[in-house]
């Protein structure tokens, strides 16, 4: 049955089976502002994706395409400005491969933002009532310390298939966050520095266990597994007692048919070192 309704499914602990229909990527729609805040709007024409995960029409109407440039004097709608002109946090996040990124989170998304990013650990380093100020600080951290502002989903997933040295990542995050606070200084009337740590649920458990990368592409064939945990868009799943890491980002814009399907996998060797 075709539908444009949005359905939220609890993945953790669930058995997921599907067949990929293998017909390319399709527009995932956009976000729009409403009196209740932001809301999801499905693609009205269900068009193929042309710009990332969107068709050209949905991409052109998506107000958040300007969110990363408005502090540099770019176009900003009244609704987007209201969204940005609210308290924001600046954070340093670290992923399983040891790569750091600097990012921002609205006060209402303080904890959810890091969880959806797929970070292993993080530290908040600054806070401001004005989101434009936080984005200026974000650019300063990138310029001075060469800390990137994005990390590819595939890199995050691949690293989770290896043993994760959580103690080392935690220490490296704290050290970098300290350097960021040093270059920002104590703050002024527009912002102030903060010192607050965050760790993903099950943080210590990531240091143990044999996990391997899921060896099949999700854009073809049939797949079935039980989801043990989700870290951002990456899932740690169980198939016949073996633990696999699946990059669910590969399914963005894909059409699938849900059902009682199984994965047919080749023999793989766990990563030991």
Tokens of 90: 């600046």
> Exposed/middle/buried for 223, CB within 10 Å: 0-12, 13-18, 19+?
buried
Domain assignment of residue 270, yes or no: no
Query: How does residue 118 score in pLDDT terms, banded at 50, 70 and 90?
Result: very high
Domain assignment of residue 35, yes or no: no
Phi, then psi, of 182 in degrees rounded to 5? -65, -45
Query: How does residue 273 score in pLDDT terms, banded at 50, 70 and 90?
Result: very low
Q: Residue 184 in contact with residue 244, Cβ under 8 Å?
A: no
Domain assignment of residue 63, yes or no: no
Q: Looking at the predicted structure, is the pLDDT value of residue 73 above 80? A: no
Domain assignment of residue 37, yes or no: no
Domain assignment of residue 31, yes or no: no
Domain count, the chain: 1
What's the predicted TM-score (pTM) here?
Answer: 0.83
Domain assignment of residue 47, yes or no: no
Pairing relationship of beta strands 88-94 and 222-231 according to DSSP bridges:
unpaired
pLDDT in tens, 21-36: 988 899 999 888 765 6
Tokens of 246: 């699946």
Spatial CB neighbours of 182, under 8 Å, sequence gap ≥ 6: none
pLDDT the model gives residue 251 = 93
Of residues 243 and 4, more confidence is placed in 243
Domain assignment of residue 256, yes or no: no
* Eight-class DSSP state of 113: H
* Secondary structure class of 31 (helix, strand, coil): strand
Pairing relationship of beta strands 211-213 and 88-94 according to DSSP bridges:
unpaired
pLDDT in tens, 122-179: 999 999 998 889 999 999 999 999 999 999 988 999 999 888 899 999 999 999 999 9
pLDDT the model gives residue 185 = 92
What's the domain range around 146?
A: 85-205
* Percent of all residues in the chain with a pLDDT value above 90, rounded to a whole number: 58
Domain assignment of residue 134, yes or no: yes
Length of the chain, in residues: 273
């Amino acid at each position: 049955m075709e539908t444009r309704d949005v359905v939220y499914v609890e993945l953790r602990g669930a058995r997921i089976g599907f067949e990929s229909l293998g017909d390319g990527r399709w527009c995932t729609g956009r976000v729009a502002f409403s009196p209740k805040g932001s809301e999801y709007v499905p693609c009205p024409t269900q068009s193929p994706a042309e710009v990332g995960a969107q068709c050209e029409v949905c991409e052109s109407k998506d107000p958040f395409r300007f969110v990363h440039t408005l502090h540099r004097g770019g176009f900003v709608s009244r609704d987007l400005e209201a969204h940005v002109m609210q308290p924001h946090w600046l954070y340093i996040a670290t992923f399983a491969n040891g790569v750091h990124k600097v990012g921002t989170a609205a006060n209402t998304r303080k904890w959810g933002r890091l969880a959806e990013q797929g970070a292993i650990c993080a530290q908040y380093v600054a806070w401001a009532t004005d989101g434009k100020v936080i984005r200026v600080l974000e650019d300063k951290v990138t310029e001075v310390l060469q800390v990137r502002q994005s990390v590819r989903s595939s890199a995050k997933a691949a690293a989770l298939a290896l043993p994760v040295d959580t103690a080392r990542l935690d220490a490296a995050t704290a050290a970098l966050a300290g350097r960021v606070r040093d270059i920002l200084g104590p703050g002024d009337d527009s912002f102030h520095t903060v010192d607050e740590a965050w760790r993903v649920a099950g943080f210590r458990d990531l240091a143990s266990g044999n996990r391997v990368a899921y060896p099949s592409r999700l854009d073809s064939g049939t797949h079935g597994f039980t989801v043990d945990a989700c870290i951002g868009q990456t899932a740690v799943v169980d198939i016949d007692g073996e633990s696999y890491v699946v990059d669910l980002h590969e399914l963005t814009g894909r059409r699938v048919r849900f059902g009682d399907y199984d994965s047919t996998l080749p023999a793989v060797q766990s990563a030991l070192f």
